[in-house]
């Protein structure tokens, strides 16, 4: 395989960006609003101003962290198979996470998500082979906010086989979520050996690691749970407007996160991720479908690769409010660029409206976009030696390739077909079949896939234990009973 590979920055620019980031985390340093993290950094050799909660991190500490952090690790599915390779140029996709609304299938309007929506979404993602991982994609509004993070994981674990990208909204809830993952994996050791989940931890721009995210990052490191560093400079608002300078800020924030993690436990798995955005200078919004956003993404991914780290980004989502052409073009361009850049985990599929909204139909449509992007990224393979001489001399001047065994042998690999979401029929057939739109075909495919879903292999005891853990959290949040997750 000779994959296409996209680069954005010259080696000299990468070097310069890293140098400036290293200088930034010394002066002015990184704000760290967590006492344990400040202590860890001080012990490791950083100069720490405890009253100002600022750490000045010397380059030597970063170099040590880069030595100890794994270059490659895997996520495992519930059957214990390694299905996601973090590291190198392997490309995977997962749905965008933590949407606060869902695009209602019937009305086409955004509304608050509930339990049944997330159950459906997780099942759908299981059935779409283009997704290598799940994500805790929706915040269900039929449970109290205080358990919003862990409830998502509870629902997902009951339905999923694929590994999951998740995150905690609190310091305590991280532990509840960890407990759930241990139940699903079988034991703490099994979970550490074969990670089932990655936790996103997001520094606050500019140059701040909040109490909550520091704690999540440290706890992940101590328990051997992979953490995805999601720096999100907003170019022109919370970060400098020039794209390269935003990449410097991203590098500084992620490098400091890396040092916090490795100071907690050397060798803890970390992903060089992010969700930067260009700032919209008219509406004050954060467009994910802007070329400037993609350029920052591509650049920081290249910096991560230069540092030898596994990579993640938020691409392939759209800022459209409905499933229109804007949704199609922004999602397609982002996904294609990410695939060409060899990003290990690309989050964002299914999402609309500045990562606020998830759509089941869009997840189905985006799966086709991902199929296209992967096909292009896979490039052209040489199947025969000689390439064409033998087959072309056999056929001479006859246009009979459709009936050649050579065609039968290779067409599935060379010309893989889309699902029925993509219409390839002649006009007459399309009209006869009801002049369907992309969204209608996606809805039909969604129904077919959901009908074919089969439950995962969690035991009755494991399900009961997960329920017990979640019910305990629910009661702490004033909810006596969990919503019925079998109601679909």
Partner 1 sequence: MTHEILTQLTESLVAGEPEAAVDLTRQALQAGIEPLEIIQQGLIPGMNIVGEKFQSGEYYLPDLIIAADGMQQAMQILEPELVTRQQKIETAGTVVIGTVKGDIHEIGKSLVATMLSANGFTVHDMGVDVPTETFLAKVRETNANLVGLSALLTTTMTVQREVIQALQAAGLRSQVKVMVGGAPVTQSWADEVGADGFAEDAMSAVTLARRLVAQK
Binding residues for partner 1 (CB under 8 A):
399, 402-403, 405, 407-408, 411-412, 417, 420, 425-429, 432
Query: Closer to partner 1 at the Cβ: 5 or 432?
Result: 432
Query: Closer to partner 1 at the Cβ: 13 or 407?
Result: 407
Smallest distance from the beta carbon of 293 to partner 1, in angstroms?
37
Query: Closer to partner 1 at the Cβ: 408 or 472?
Result: 408
Smallest distance from the beta carbon of 391 to partner 1, in angstroms?
14
Element (H, E) at 64: helix 59-68
Both tokens assigned to 358: 């998830």
Query: Closer to partner 1 at the Cβ: 217 or 421?
Result: 421
CB contact set of 431 (below 8 Å; sequence gap of 6+): none
Smallest distance from the beta carbon of 408 to partner 1, in angstroms?
4
DSSP-derived 3-state class of residue 53: coil
Query: Closer to partner 1 at the Cβ: 385 or 428?
Result: 428
CB contact set of 255 (below 8 Å; sequence gap of 6+): 21, 22, 25, 57, 62, 65
Query: Closer to partner 1 at the Cβ: 50 or 411?
Result: 411
Longest dimension (CA), the chain: 83
Query: Closer to partner 1 at the Cβ: 12 or 428?
Result: 428
Alpha helices for 342-453 (secondary structure H): 360-378, 389-395, 405-414, 427-432, 438-452
Smallest distance from the beta carbon of 132 to partner 1, in angstroms?
24
Long-range contacts of 246-250, Cβ-Cβ distance < 8 Å, separation of 24 or more: 246/276, 246/296, 247/17, 247/296, 247/299, 247/300, 247/303, 248/17, 248/20, 248/21, 248/24, 249/21, 249/24, 249/205, 249/206, 249/207, 250/274, 250/276, 250/296, 250/300, 250/303
Handedness of CA 335, 338, 342, 344 (dihedral sign): negative
Smallest distance from the beta carbon of 444 to partner 1, in angstroms?
12
Smallest distance from the beta carbon of 259 to partner 1, in angstroms?
52
Distance of CA 133 to the CA centre of its chain: 8
Smallest distance from the beta carbon of 406 to partner 1, in angstroms?
10
């Amino acid at each position: 395989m000779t994959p296409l590979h996209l680069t954005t920055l010259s080696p000299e620019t990468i070097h310069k960006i890293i140098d400036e980031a290293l200088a930034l985390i010394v002066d002015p340093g990184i704000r760290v609003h967590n006492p344990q993290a400040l202590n860890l950094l001080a012990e490791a050799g950083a100069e720490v101003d405890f009253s100002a909660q600022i750490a000045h991190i010397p380059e030597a500490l970063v170099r040590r962290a880069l030595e100890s952090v794994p270059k490659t690790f895997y996520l495992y599915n519930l059957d214990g198979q390694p299905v996601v390779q973090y590291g190198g140029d392997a490309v995977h996709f997962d749905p965008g996470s933590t949407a606060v609304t869902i695009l209602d299938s019937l009305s086409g309007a955004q509304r608050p998500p509930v339990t049944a929506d997330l159950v459906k979404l997780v099942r759908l993602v299981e059935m779409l082979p283009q997704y290598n991982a799940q994500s805790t994609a929706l915040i269900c509004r039929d449970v109290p906010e205080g358990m919003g993070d862990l409830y998502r994981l509870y629902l997902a674990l009951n339905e999923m086989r694929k590994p999951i990208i998740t995150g905690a909204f609190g310091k305590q809830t991280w532990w509840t979520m960890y407990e759930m993952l241990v139940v699903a994996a079988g034991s703490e050791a099994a979970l550490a050996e074969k990670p089932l989940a990655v936790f996103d931890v997001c520094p606050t721009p500019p140059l701040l690691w909040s109490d909550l995210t520091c704690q999540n990052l440290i706890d992940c490191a101590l328990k051997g749970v992979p953490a995805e560093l999601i720096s999100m400079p907003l170019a022109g608002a919370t970060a400098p407007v020039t794209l390269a300078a935003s990449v410097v800020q991203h590098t500084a924030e992620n490098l400091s996160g890396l040092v916090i993690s490795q100071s907690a436990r050397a060798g803890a798995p970390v992903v060089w991720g992010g969700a930067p955005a260009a700032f919209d200078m008219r509406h004050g919004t954060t467009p994910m479908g802007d070329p400037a956003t993609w350029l920052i993404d591509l650049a920081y991914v290249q910096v991560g690769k230069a540092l030898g780290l596994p990579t993640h980004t938020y691409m392939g989502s759209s800022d459209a409010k409905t499933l229109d052409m804007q949704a199609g073009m922004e999602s397609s361009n982002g996904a294609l660029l990410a695939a060409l850049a060899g990003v290990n985990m690309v989050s964002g599929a299914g999402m609309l409206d500045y990562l606020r909204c998830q759509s089941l139909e869009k997840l189905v449509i985006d799966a086709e976009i991902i199929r296209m992007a992967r096909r292009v990224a896979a490039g052209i393979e040489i199947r025969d030696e000689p390439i064409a001489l033998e087959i072309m001399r056999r056929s001479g001047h006859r246009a009979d390739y459709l009936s050649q065994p050579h065609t039968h042998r290779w067409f599935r690999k060379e010309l893989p077909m889309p699902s029925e979401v993509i219409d390839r029929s002649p006009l007459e057939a399309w009209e006869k079949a009801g002049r369907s739109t992309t969204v209608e075909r996606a809805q039909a495919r969604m129904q077919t896939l959901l009908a074919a879903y089969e439950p995962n292999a969690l035991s009755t005891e494991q399900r009961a234990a997960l329920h017990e853990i979640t019910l305990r959290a629910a009661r702490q949040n004033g909810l006596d009973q969990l919503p019925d997750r079998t109601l679909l």
